[in-house]
Amino acid sequence: PPEEEDPPAEDPVEERLVVGGSSSVYVVAVLLAERFMEKHPHIVVETHSVGSTAGVVGAHEGTFDIGMSSRWLKGDEPGWGLGEFVICHDAIAAIVHPDNPVENLTMEEVRKIFLGEITNWNEVGGKDVPITVIIREEGSGTRGAFEDIVHEDIEPVPTLIKIGTGGVRAAVAGDPSAIGYITIAALDETVRALKVDGVAPTAAAVLAGDYGIARPFLFLTYGEPDPLERKFIDFVLGPEGQDMLADEGMVRVD
């Protein structure tokens, strides 16, 4: 549906939309919300970065009008009758310090590093330094997705646990021997994304099915979205929202 412009005079009552959940989705949601609020000055979109599980439950319990998740619903969650909107797909990049000479790892090597079977960079063609494995905290959607795809149900052997996407990025950026994982939306010059099996993590690669560590970004509503929620979701799924997501490196869904 086309975006309709409604000036403040027409609808002066302030409306509030609370959006919360995955910290990966949060990275793009803030930008979307900022643009959306510019267009609709009487609507406030609150964004909270609390993690996917909290996003799912928040949508179910009503803490959030729209919950955000960076993984598919699992367990008994699908039975809660949540409205589920895939807003884009995302690749998870394994990241290292820019000074790290290693460029490429096989999926198997990634798996072994995170399971503690490879503990030194020289085993994969790097310098002779122990690997600092940095993972996300328990409950993170990114961690959930990464573990599902890379090493299934086995416990990783981390040397550090960091909070949030930014936490992992900051820790990797500060430690030349570190490896971690974050959404490609959050990649910046402070860290470098590794190729996995020779493929760089990009939207195109995900779309083509060449890059394996990918997952959806979901918006969740309690039952059918009400008009206000609909408005925001439509904006995100609409051309402008999708353009913005693509600009951030996401895989568009339209």
Structure tokens at 215: 């997952």
- x-or-dash string of contact with other proteins, 129-148, rule CB under 8 A: xx-x----xxxx---x----
Nearest to 101 by CA among 82, 80, 124: 124
Size of the site for other proteins (CB under 8 A): 48
Give me the least distance between CB of 249 and other proteins, in Å please. 16
DSSP bridge pairs for 180:
95
Q: Which is nearer to other proteins, 186 or 196 (CB)?
A: 186
What is d(CA 137, CA 7) in angstroms, rounded to the nearest whole number?
43
- x-or-dash string of contact with other proteins, 174-213, rule CB under 8 A: xx-xx---------x-x-----------------------
For the chain, give the number of residues: 254
Give me the least distance between CB of 51 and other proteins, in Å please. 4
The answer to whether 87 and 218 have CB atoms below 8 angstroms apart is: yes
Residue 61 contacts other proteins per CB under 8 A: yes
What is d(CA 98, CA 18) in angstroms, rounded to the nearest whole number?
37
Q: Which is nearer to other proteins, 247 or 254 (CB)?
A: 247
Give me the least distance between CB of 115 and other proteins, in Å please. 14
Termini Cα distance of the chain: 13
What is d(CA 200, CA 192) in angstroms, rounded to the nearest whole number?
11
Site residues (vs other proteins, CB under 8 A): 14, 16, 18, 27, 30, 44, 46-54, 57-58, 61, 63, 129-130, 132, 137-140, 144, 155, 158-167, 169-171, 173-175, 177-178, 188, 190
